[in-house]
Amino acid sequence: MRIGGWVKFSLIDYPGEMAAVIFTQGCNYRCAYCHNADLVLPEQYTQCIPEAEVLGFLKERQGKLNALVVSGGEPTLQPGLLPFLQKVKALGYFVKLDTNGSRPKVLKALLAAELVDYIAMDIKAPVSKYDFVTGISTNVVAVKESIDLISRSEKPHVFRTTVVRSMLSFNDIRDISRMVPEGSRFILQEFVPRGSTLDPEYANPLSQHYSKEELNRMLDFFRKSEIRVTA
Ligand code: SF4
């Protein structure tokens, strides 16, 4: 496992649980608005945190922490993810996975082995705009397969979309919401321009972001239109 960073205590990353969060190095997408260049661009990787250090910390915190969030980058790219999570589960921790949904085979293996308890998946764009938003030629069939797997997994889960005004229109967001299966939770995440982004153009201009009020209005509209969205 290439672990590029961690947060040792969080009350906001795993709903209802006291969690540590690790961030894996490496991502197959290149979203222009991404704030995590040091986890995405190999030339900006920092020194890895040894897996043994994370496991040692979790062992030491048994009873004080009860969950681990595995975020990225894109964690499902890590060849050592499954054995690592086996060790984490053996210590008695809940595991939440944050994923871009590009590797349904890995998701399937993790679910079959009961190694994840909560999944958060980003749906980046409507099908027609996936390549534009992710910055690569995306296998949208794989993304849809992941949505299907997760929604049928009976595990707590959430689908979420980061909304950048210059990338996603109101109609795009409506189309994304239609990709979310009935009964699944869907969250619109406000894009906040700050710090650095993969494409520097996204770091500053306020024109890139929808306000909270606008996002709430969209969610209201979706509810009234009986598009299947819960927030
Ligand atoms: S925002 Fe995009 S590029 Fe950045 S880590 Fe997530 S999927 Fe990868």
Q: Output the 3-class SS for 117-149.
A: CEEEEECCCCHHHHHHHHCCCCCHHHHHHHHHH
Residue 63's domain is classified under what CATH number?
3.20.20.70
Cβ 185 under 6 angstroms from ligand 1 = no
Cβ 121 under 6 angstroms from ligand 1 = no
Q: How far is the CA of 77 from the centre of ligand 1 (A)?
A: 12
* Number of structural domains in the chain: 1
In a domain, 229, yes or no: no
Spell out the residues 6+ positions from residue 62 whose beta carbon is closer than 8 angstroms to its own: 91, 92
In a domain, 188, yes or no: yes
Look at residue 205 in the predicted model and tell me its pLDDT. Answer: 63
pTM, full prediction? 0.93
In a domain, 208, yes or no: yes
Spell out the residues 6+ positions from residue 142 whose beta carbon is closer than 8 angstroms to its own: 101, 102, 103, 104
Cβ 27 under 6 angstroms from ligand 1 = yes
Cβ 125 under 6 angstroms from ligand 1 = no
- The torsion angles phi and psi of 59, rounded to 5 degrees, stand at -65, -45
Cβ 100 under 6 angstroms from ligand 1 = yes
Look at residue 231 in the predicted model and tell me its pLDDT. Answer: 47
Q: Whose CA is nearest to atom 6 of ligand 1?
A: 73
Cβ 29 under 6 angstroms from ligand 1 = yes
In a domain, 66, yes or no: yes
| Residue of 174, 185, 198, 160 lying closest to 73 (CA atoms) | 198
Q: How far is the CA of 163 from the centre of ligand 1 (A)?
A: 13
In a domain, 230, yes or no: no
Relative to the CA of 72, which ligand 1 atom is closest? 5
In a domain, 204, yes or no: yes
Q: How far is the CA of 140 from the centre of ligand 1 (A)?
A: 16
| 4 cis-preceded (ω within 30 degrees of 0) | no
Cβ 31 under 6 angstroms from ligand 1 = yes
Cβ 163 under 6 angstroms from ligand 1 = no
| Residue of 77, 118, 125, 78 lying closest to 98 (CA atoms) | 118
Identify the burial level of 95 via C-beta atoms within 10 angstroms of its C-beta, where 0-12 means exposed, 13-18 middle and 19 or more buried: buried
d(Cα 37, Cα 153) in Å, to the nearest integer? 31
Per-residue pLDDT of the chain (231 residues; tens, 9 = 90+): 999 999 999 999 999 999 999 999 999 999 999 999 999 999 999 999 999 999 999 999 999 999 999 999 999 999 999 999 999 999 999 999 999 999 999 999 999 999 999 999 999 999 999 999 999 999 999 999 999 999 999 999 999 999 998 899 999 999 999 999 988 999 988 888 777 899 988 887 665 778 778 888 887 777 665 555 544
Residue-range definition of the domain harbouring residue 89? 3-224
Q: How far is the CA of 228 from the centre of ligand 1 (A)?
A: 25
In a domain, 72, yes or no: yes
Q: How far is the CA of 183 from the centre of ligand 1 (A)?
A: 26
In a domain, 231, yes or no: no
Handedness of CA 206, 212, 214, 218 (dihedral sign): positive
Ligand 1 pocket test, candidate residues 24, 27, 196, most atoms within 8 A of CB: 27
Relative to the CA of 39, which ligand 1 atom is closest? 5
Look at residue 216 in the predicted model and tell me its pLDDT. Answer: 82
| Residue of 81, 5, 84 lying closest to 45 (CA atoms) | 5
